[in-house]
Chain A
Amino acid sequence: MNPEPIITARGVTRRFGGLVALDGIDLDVPRGVVQAIIGPNGSGKTTLLNALSGASHADTGSIRVGGHEIFRLKPYRIARLGLARTFQNIRIFENLSVIENVKVAAACNSPTSLFNILTANARHRHSEADIDRNAREALEIVGLAHRANDRATQLPYAQQRLLEIARALASKPNVLLLDEPAAGMNMTESMTLLDTIARLKNSGITILLVEHNVRLVMGISDRVTVLDFGKKIAEGAPSEVQRNPLVIEAYLGRRHRHA
């Protein structure tokens, strides 16, 4: 494992009015691992993901991805630096076909000019062919290649989640942020998803995972970070974290009481 973490966040703070959603979070994600962020509802998991991906900037702090400072960078720049993500509430492009959804992200690093598009010159055809190939590969990985030409909205819910993952993969990311990827999936679908995540990890992508389903997380994560009320309360291997009394109190305990 590369000693330098691919994500280094320091003192990330985010306030919404009077509410402190993230309170000075420090986070290190080593290269090539699957790291999970867990925590009860409203603990700041998605807010942290948004801060990392630039979707909703942190107020203060420093975030480095692959050595680049990305704090307050526009999301598309962060994406082009090799950080891709999926969304908790599915955000596919409803008016595009399945393959076109993926192509949007596949074009991430193939800049083109209007001139090339209008003249449909060799460079344009070349880059479109590249994009097409990348997109098909990404669909292949999540097992949606057979639905490439369908309209994205025609996919069932679970497959829309997979489509989001394929879209994220198409930008050839170093880091993949998955926001509750198994939400709304049944057991078999979840299992397939885990399988996919494992394969992605093996291909060298670092995965940061926000998940509600703790059991699902524990199985595949190398490291787990636990948030509560916008603070990091524990971090480490799944087995360590599971034994941490703070975590049991804050997260598992409360959950159990709910149940």
Chain B
Amino acid sequence: MGQLVVNGLALGSIYALVALGLLLIFNTVQIVNFAQGQLLMLGAFIGISCAVTHELPVAAAWAITMVAMALVGIVFMVLVYFPLRGRPAFLVILTTIAMGIVLENLALIIWGPLPVSLPSPVHGPPLRFAGVVVSMHQLFIFATLAVTLLLQFFFLTKTRFGILMQATAQDLHTARLVGIPVNRTIAVAFAFGAVLSGIAGLLVAPIFLAEPTMGGSLGLKGFVVSVIGGFGNLPGAVIGGLFLGLIETFGARYISSNFRDAYAFIVMIAVLIAWPRGLFGEKSSEKV
């Protein structure tokens, strides 16, 4: 039971990180990026290229990956967001899905289909108490989620740039009129959103291995989390993520492992029927 909680939370933390990356982009430009999972995969593979193929230290691999992902985020914005500004949501959804397909297949061409592992940045024997095992990497995942959450909260509410970002989300047009460097703000949002999914990828690869097709299902879980928590809601994303991780592991253990993926969706649909904008409400400016 205790073990299920630990593993459920570790899995949930990954979901939460994916959702946090989605949130950063959503909060700025009100776009849900359906290629977030593929960005995660890209992060994992960039990390592997550095740490495994080129045998750089893991810390260096992390740093390079984060920088590279920031650039990827900006390229992504130029290719996907700019041409579609102000277009209906389903076109944006489809474009990001198409972008995900492109990334996944490019990765297959570049890195091949074999699963690869990435060394964890932390080492040491797992903690054991009362029969529950917590690996160092799991602790590292929890710590990363906590730090990311705090930084993101601080960034969005306490820094000038974060506030600019929120203002941009409220009303892009007005933001531009009052002299907010809108494009730069959006670029920062995409860059950070991609970096966050890159971090999630670096965290996933040591325990779950990396393969080019890994993005689809992790990305999808990130959306389920976003929906449960309410799009763009910071605590919602984290609580929703952890919640989903627990539901999946407990559902698989005590109901049936056959329908594991269904639990996420059943809970999501149930939440939406009760609260059409997620458990914690959508944080967006609804214009009547």
Contacts and interface: CB of A to CB of B under 8 A. Distances in A.
B288 interface: yes
Nearest to A56: B288
A55 interface: yes
Contacts of A56: 288
A50 interface: yes
Nearest to A16: B288
Question: How many interface residues does chain A have, given as a range?
Answer: under 10
Contacts of B288: 50, 55-56
A56 B288 CA distance: 8
Interface string A16-58: 0000000000000000000000000000000000100001100
B interface, by DSSP: helix, strand, loop or mixed?
Answer: loop
Contacts of A50: 288
A55 B288 CA distance: 9
Interface string B138-180: 0000000000000000000000000000000000000000000
A56 B286 CA distance: 12
B285 to A, nearest CB: 12
A220 B74 CA distance: 56
Nearest to A55: B288
A114 to B, nearest CB: 25
Interface in A180-227: none
Interface string B268-288: 000000000000000000001
Nearest to A46: B288
B144 to A, nearest CB: 35
A50 to B, nearest CB: 7
Nearest to B287: A89
3 contacts: A50-B288, A55-B288, A56-B288
Top 3 closest A-B pairs, CB basis? A56-B288, A50-B288, A55-B288
A50 B288 CA distance: 9
Interface in A49-70: 50, 55-56
B71 to A, nearest CB: 38
B89 to A, nearest CB: 16
Contacts of A55: 288
A18 B100 CA distance: 42
A82 B288 CA distance: 23
B190 to A, nearest CB: 29
A223 B288 CA distance: 28
A140 B288 CA distance: 31
Interface in B234-288: 288
A136 B288 CA distance: 30
Nearest to B288: A56
A19 to B, nearest CB: 13
B282 to A, nearest CB: 15
B74 to A, nearest CB: 33
A44 to B, nearest CB: 13
Nearest to A89: B287
A30 B288 CA distance: 28
B24 to A, nearest CB: 24
A41 to B, nearest CB: 15
A84 B288 CA distance: 18
B45 to A, nearest CB: 43
B113 to A, nearest CB: 43
